[in-house]
Structure 1
Amino acid sequence: MSSPKQSPASSRNPIRMLSWRVVIAAFLVACGLTALTTWALVTATDAKTADQAKIATVKINAIRTGLSVGAGIGGAMALLLAARKQWLGERSQTHQEDVANSDIMDASERRITDLYGKAVDQLGSDKAAVRIGGIFALERLAQANAGHRQTIIDVICAYLRMPFSMPSELDLGSISAYTLQSATDQESQQEIQVRLTAQDFLKRRLSKKSTNLDDHWEGLRIDLTGATLITFNLSGCEFREGVFSNSHFVGTTRFNSSASTGSSTFRGARFSGFADFSNVDFSGRARFDDSFYARSCSFEEANFDQARFDKATFMGEAIFNRSNFHNRAIFDDATFSRAIFTEADFIADVQFLRVTFSEVAGFGQSRFRGAATFTNCRFDKDVRFGGSRFEGRVRFREAIFSGQASFGECNFLEGVYMRGAAFDDVAKFGNSKMMGGASFRDVSFKKGATFTGTSSSRSITFYGVRFDGAVNFFKTEDQPIEFKNSSIQDRDQMLHSPKYWLAASQENSLGRYDIVRWNPPMVLP
């Protein structure tokens, strides 16, 4: 609980008493000033040259004037003392009011503390109805006392963090309000209802859609580390910071259209059912490393400031369509089943190191504004980058493409670099623009490769490349293409050779045909 505010009286200077010596000294000074004034006036009248009667009259008037001055000084002293008395009275009244306000504040704090303690005691009851009553009591207390809201949110989160095991007969991935009633353990059913009430409390008070502005509690931190959360729903909510590390999300989880103004972490979190993070806005750092998704999840049109998904496991479909990554995004050592990044926007660098895509991976029409790294990645099925725009350096080092790889109509502004990559199926680069050049070093194309209509303002170089299937360079006559130590399995599979290049007529020592430069003979007129 927060401490009561400091009383205004505690910052005031203490009242200093007026000494009698000061009063006597002031009286003597007043008398002296009166005598001095009278003497000065009498002395001035002695210098006159009029007759004696007029002189006497003038002296009397001078004396009267001096006495009037003395009376005026005395009146001023009396007025000063009266003003001080009034000031002391006002100070006394203010002090009494401060004491009364302090008593009221202390009484209010004692009342809040008492209510808080009783509500917390209710949460510890062995009866579910009493625990639910404690949650509502805490909510009412926080609604009326804004300064205690974070503390009460912390209490609710602490309750949800208490150990709880779901009944074993329930399917954790498809739990609903109906299936929860099928739990055979009555005690577990009651505890589930208490937890759902606590979760609804968080949803209600963090929602941005509240009709009453005071119903939305702003700038709060949620700490649900290690909690078991059942059909958790924070859709349309806003919070300052969210900590969900190692939490277990049972049933459908909804964070769609929510916003976090600070950092959020789901490190080590487990999602047994569908996880909906569509349209979320993580203004701070968002960590999903080591998270596990047993079923599908959606981050469609999500906004990330800094995102980390390293070592995350996606067993179902992972949807990142039209998501925006404003700073560096890391997916190192992640495992995807079906990954969809269609029209995603990577505004800064993105890194996929040692990532496995066991099903289709779709990056079509995505935009990579920074460096894009796909080192040691494994694409077990088809991968599609068609229509994507790479504005930074692109690296596919030691990547394995087991299915078809489509890079058709891609735009590589700063060049593409592939080293040690293996294409087990057809690789398509048709109509792609490699304006920054391209380097294929020690790459193997086991089925076929299509570079039809590929254009570049710099050289496209193949170092030690092995073509085991058909390779097509149709409509690339005017492009700068170079081959060094590259070969093809069957010279008849060299379709539409690039300008000045062809397959050698004889096999090399490995039974393959080197791709060699051809110098046409001079044609005489």
Structure 2
Amino acid sequence: MWLVVCLAVVVVCAAGVVAYWLVRRLTEPAQTLAVPDGIRLSIAILTVFGAVLAGVYAYRKQRIAEGDAHRADATQFAERYSTAAGQLGHEGSAVRLAGVYAMARLADDWVEQRQVCVDVLCAYLRMPYEGNPESDQYKRGEREVRQTIIKVIRDHLQESPGDASWSTCALDLTRAVLDGGDFSGCRFRGSVSFADADFVGELVSFDEAVFLDGSVTFHGARFGAGAVTFDDARFLGGSVSFDEARFNGSALSFGGALLGPCAVTFHRAHLSGGTTLAMDEARLCGGTVGFDHAQFENATVTFSRARLEDGSLAFRRARFTGGTLSFDHAHFSGAAVALDDAECTGGTVSFYASRFDGGDITFDYGQFTDSTVTFHHGRFNGGTVSLGHARFSGGMVSFVRAQVNGGRVALAEAQFSDANVRWGRLRPADGGSH
């Protein structure tokens, strides 16, 4: 530092001499400059140079101080991280709870390493969990710790001022055991994984959640007899996948949900044991919902009073054994609904009192054995219902009391074998074979 100061003094003095010499040379041809005036001018120039050097020195000193403060903060954050992680691994549930809150506060303060802190909380939920008090692996207070972690994550996924939101963080809950949980009102922008997770609690709620960019996956997840609700949720981007998930006696609800430009898929999912999947009063507006290759065994799937305006809803190659697929009182104005190549045995597909103003509903190449397909009290104002190449063996196909003001019902070589076909006042666009 002293060397830098000495060099600065030398430079300033040299600059002063040069400045004085330049002033003399520039002013002597025109008029003689008095010595005191020249000295004052030189002093002014030296003062400016000195101020600049002082500013540079002060700036460098500030940068050094900021670097020291940053290193001190990093050291403090590292110490807090070690303390919180140690608390999370403590035997006492009260200490673990303190660790949860400590790690959450650290994530708020330590923006550069926020994802690491969130990963630690998610990793805790991925650890083995035993909820049965009779088991040797049961830990007193463990459920409360896990519920607290979920609550902390939920609070930080909601609308938060400034940089406090965790909505862009990745949440890895792969193979986690979720004994209930509340994610209502969350905003999902990053990637979230519930892949192969076990939902063993009575209720997991995503009510009024907003799904934006990013992906949320429940691939291969297992849902027990509890309920998972997405009521009034908004799907506005990204994707939500339930591919290959298994539902056994579960209740899955999307009541009043808005399905915008988002893909929601249940490809190869398995719904059995009286599972109910309700999308009642949902609105399909540009999104896609896919159940391709899904299996429904005595399951109930309802879209009652749903509004299907745009986008697609597909059950291609799905298999229904018993159970019900209901679109009662639904309004179709532009969406495409496809049951192409679907197989239905002993089940019911109902469009009771539905209104058709546009869009296409296709059963092409589907096989319906001892099943009921009904459009009772339906109102056809537009759109197309196609039974092309479908096969109906036994059971019933009914358009009784349907109101036909427009639209088109196409059979295109549909086959009816021992099926009770009731056309009512409907006149199909082309004939089928009986």
TM-score by length of 2: 0.83
Q: Which residue of 1 aligns with 2:200?
A: 250
Q: Which residue of 1 aligns with 2:349?
A: 383
Out of 414, 424, 430, the position equivalent to 1:452 is 424
Deviation at 1:115, TM superposition (A): 0.7
State the AA in 1 paired with 2:431: F
Out of 213, 219, 229, the position equivalent to 1:267 is 219
Deviation track 1:348-395 (CA, whole Å, cap 9, x = no partner) reads: 122211223321221123244233221232332222112242623332
Work out whether 1:398 is the aligned partner of 2:366. Answer: yes
State the AA in 2 paired with 1:385: F
Show the 5 A alignment for 1:274-353. 274-283=227-236, 284-294=238-248, 295-304=250-259, 305-315=262-272, 316-325=275-284, 326-336=286-296, 337-346=299-308, 347-353=310-316
Structure 1 vs Structure 2 CA RMSD: 2.9
Residue 365 of structure 1 aligns to a residue in which SS?
A: coil
Out of 168, 174, 177, the position equivalent to 1:228 is 177
State the alpha-carbon separation in 2 of the partners of residues 398 and 97 from structure 1. 75
Residue 452 of structure 1 aligns to a residue in which SS?
A: coil
Residue 413 of structure 1 aligns to a residue in which SS?
A: strand
State the alpha-carbon separation in 1 of the partners of residues 40 and 176 from structure 2. 79
State the AA in 2 paired with 1:332: D
Is contact 1:30-1:74 (8 Å) kept? no
State the alpha-carbon separation in 2 of the partners of residues 332 and 35 from structure 1. 95
Q: Which residue of 2 aligns with 1:462?
A: 431
State the alpha-carbon separation in 1 of the partners of residues 397 and 409 from structure 2. 18
Residue 11 of structure 2 aligns to a residue in which SS?
A: coil
Q: Which residue of 2 aligns with 1:219?
A: 168
State the alpha-carbon separation in 2 of the partners of residues 275 and 441 from structure 1. 42
Which stretch shows the higher mean deviation, 405-414 or 351-360?
A: 405-414
Mark the CA change 1:18 to 1:416 in structure 2 (over 3 Å): closer, same or farther: same
Is contact 1:354-1:376 (8 Å) kept? yes
State the alpha-carbon separation in 1 of the partners of residues 288 and 379 from structure 2. 22
Q: Which residue of 2 aligns with 1:158?
A: 123
Q: Which runs of 5+ in 1 are unaligned?
A: 1-14, 39-65, 171-181, 467-525
State the alpha-carbon separation in 1 of the partners of residues 269 and 9 from structure 2. 72
Deviation at 1:101, TM superposition (A): 2.5
Residue identity over aligned pairs, in percent, reads 23
Is contact 1:426-1:445 (8 Å) kept? no
Deviation track 1:303-324 (CA, whole Å, cap 9, x = no partner) reads: 2321111111222111111223
State the alpha-carbon separation in 2 of the partners of residues 401 and 237 from structure 1. 43
Is contact 1:183-1:189 (8 Å) kept? no
Work out whether 1:436 is the aligned partner of 2:411. Answer: no
Q: Which runs of 5+ in 2 are unaligned?
A: 1-7
Deviation at 1:131, TM superposition (A): 2.6
Mark the CA change 1:415 to 1:192 in structure 2 (over 3 Å): closer, same or farther: closer
Is contact 1:367-1:388 (8 Å) kept? yes
Is contact 1:279-1:302 (8 Å) kept? yes
Deviation at 1:245, TM superposition (A): 1.2
Deviation at 1:240, TM superposition (A): 1.7
Deviation at 1:345, TM superposition (A): 3.1
Deviation at 1:428, TM superposition (A): 1.0
Larger radius of gyration: 1
Mark the CA change 1:100 to 1:445 in structure 2 (over 3 Å): closer, same or farther: same
State the AA in 1 paired with 2:429: I
Q: Which residue of 1 aligns with 2:386?
A: 416
Mark the CA change 1:35 to 1:189 in structure 2 (over 3 Å): closer, same or farther: closer
Deviation at 1:145, TM superposition (A): 4.1
State the alpha-carbon separation in 2 of the partners of residues 390 and 446 from structure 1. 32
State the alpha-carbon separation in 2 of the partners of residues 404 and 33 from structure 1. 107
Mark the CA change 1:389 to 1:37 in structure 2 (over 3 Å): closer, same or farther: same
State the AA in 2 paired with 1:414: T
State the AA in 2 paired with 1:354: R
State the alpha-carbon separation in 1 of the partners of residues 117 and 18 from structure 2. 63
Is contact 1:427-1:445 (8 Å) kept? no
State the alpha-carbon separation in 1 of the partners of residues 418 and 331 from structure 2. 29
Deviation track 1:483-523 (CA, whole Å, cap 9, x = no partner) reads: xxxxxxxxxxxxxxxxxxxxxxxxxxxxxxxxxxxxxxxxx
